[in-house]
Amino acid sequence: MSTKQGDQIKRVAIVFSGGPAPGANAVIAAAAVSFMEDGREVIGFFHGYANLVDYHPVTHRLLPDVHYRILQQRDVRGMRNARGILLGTSRANPGREIKRIEDLEDPSKVGSLHAVYTGLVDLGIDGLISIGGDGTLRSANLLVEYQRRLPAGAKRVQIVHLPKTIDNDYCGIDFTFGFFTAVDVMAKEVENLRADAAATGTWFVVETMGRKAGWLSYGVAIAGEADMVLAAEDIDGSLTVDGTEAGALDLDKLADRVVDAMLSGEGRGKHDGVVVLAEGLADRLPPADVGGVTRDDLGQLSLSQVDLAGLVAARAELRFRSRTGEVRRIKPLQLGYESRCAPPHAFDVMLGSQLGIGAYRALVEEGLDAHMVSVSGQLDLRYVPFTELVDGQTLLTAIRYIGRDSDLHRLARFLEARVERRHDWITSRRFTP
């Protein structure tokens, strides 16, 4: 007799939602194979929740090979290292009308959740594997909460979530798949820019993706040997309008911090370099500096529309001229999108594969519902309840920031000085016979 706690799960669905991340296909392939090898059926929905949120048994039926595919071994064989996303993705957001826990009792606000649930039930889905960022985790939790409010005899679809984001700002896991690949791709770009800067006597201000946290910017700056890195975690009273840590970011003070780094180099005969800024700094700018920028369903600023690098570079040129009477070229650049479908590094393939297998172990072996699959140590699997990740009243997930007293923060600050000394040593010997 089987000892598997979730042996009743015979048909499982996979939904990948949100932005792409290297290693996505390793996750999908490992999860699918785990269930198929155990004689269970796997359905992969195309383009996230885009088709499920519009499901209606009469007016919008879900069709095989149009809206989903019943996956076979041949679909996922040899896919772990493939770029892109086998199933595609989208930012369709079931439960976007839900702003607080009480909204789940309002029939007018649960329409998209009802559509997703009904679509899953009508296709005979017993378990759902949700792969995505914090917005996708929020949707997964809302589907759990929606089902908790159904009549006692209604079918329940068990749900597990696999964390995905190149931003690495997830609570409940140390590193998310795709993060290290994205860091490497952008770090190599920064290395190229350092060579360009040295050849042309230019400074570059590089803005990296990462949403509100500084993980990507710190990784890129450390691996790419940038001259300075600043993220939202670095904002204190010296960078704000009112001089308090909680105040709005002052663009002039931020530009002056860049100029400080430039002048530090100038004092040693260094007239070029690269400064890395996290896009999350833009979230702290005053409304006057981000006027006209759109916000999403949850009121979050669309950071990619702000052009933080352009704003800071232009202001830093003015501040440098004001402070020194001299002119320096400062060029802005945004990095991020080019990394999202890069070939995954071995670590991201390994991590993604373990998370995919973890979905099978969570649903079938452990019989879990409403849990996120995580790893620690030597890729040891662990399972984190949604209740530890999502606020029970606001239904929002927490952002994981870099601690200002952490060793990673100290490493970045230390290497800024180390990189400058190394640059001086190379420069002093570049033209020596």
Identify the pLDDT of residue 6.
87
**Secondary structure element (H or E) that encloses residue 74, with its range:** helix 73-76
Q: Provide mean pLDDT across the span 391-413.
A: 93
Q: Provide mean pLDDT across the span 63-89.
A: 96
Q: Provide mean pLDDT across the span 3-14.
A: 92
Identify the pLDDT of residue 415.
85
Which one-letter DSSP state was computed for residue 10? -
Identify the pLDDT of residue 425.
43
Residue % of the chain over a pLDDT of 90: 86
Residue % of the chain over a pLDDT of 70: 93
Q: Provide mean pLDDT across the span 363-378.
A: 97
Contact 260, 228 (CB under 8 A): no
Task: Give the count of beta carbons closer than 10 Å to the beta carbon of residue 70.
Answer: 13
Letter for the amino acid at 399?
A: I
Q: Provide mean pLDDT across the span 60-79.
A: 96
Within 8 A by CB and 6+ apart from 374, the residues are 163, 172, 173, 358, 381, 382, 383, 384
Within 8 A by CB and 6+ apart from 88, the residues are 16, 46, 47, 48
d(CA 403, CA 401): 6
Confidence of residue 294 (pLDDT cuts 50, 70, 90): low
Identify the pLDDT of residue 430.
47
Q: Is the pLDDT of residue 418 over 90?
A: no
For the chain, the C-alpha Rg in angstroms (whole number) is 24
Q: Is the pLDDT of residue 157 over 70?
A: yes
Handedness of CA 103, 157, 32, 11 (dihedral sign): negative
pLDDT digits over 160-206, tens only? 999 999 999 999 999 999 999 999 999 999 999 999 999 999 999 99
- φ and ψ of 310, to 5 deg: -65, -40
Which domains, ranges and CATH numbers included, belong to the chain? Answer: 11-176+344-388 (3.40.50.450), 182-341+403-430 (3.40.50.460)
Q: Is the pTM of this model over 0.85?
A: yes
Q: Can you point out the beta strands (E) in 258-396? A: 273-278, 330-335, 371-376, 380-385
Confidence of residue 295 (pLDDT cuts 50, 70, 90): low
Q: Provide mean pLDDT across the span 416-420.
A: 59
Q: Provide mean pLDDT across the span 360-369.
A: 97
d(CA 221, CA 230): 9
pLDDT digits over 85-121, tens only? 999 999 999 999 999 999 999 999 999 999 999 999 9
pLDDT digits over 209-249, tens only? 998 999 999 999 999 999 999 999 999 999 999 999 999 99
Handedness of CA 374, 347, 217, 403 (dihedral sign): positive
Identify the pLDDT of residue 267.
84
d(CA 8, CA 365): 11
Name the average pLDDT for the chain.
92
Identify the pLDDT of residue 356.
98
> Sheet containing 380-385: which strands, arranged edge to edge?
68-70, 41-45, 11-16, 127-132, 158-163, 371-376, 380-385
Identify the pLDDT of residue 353.
98
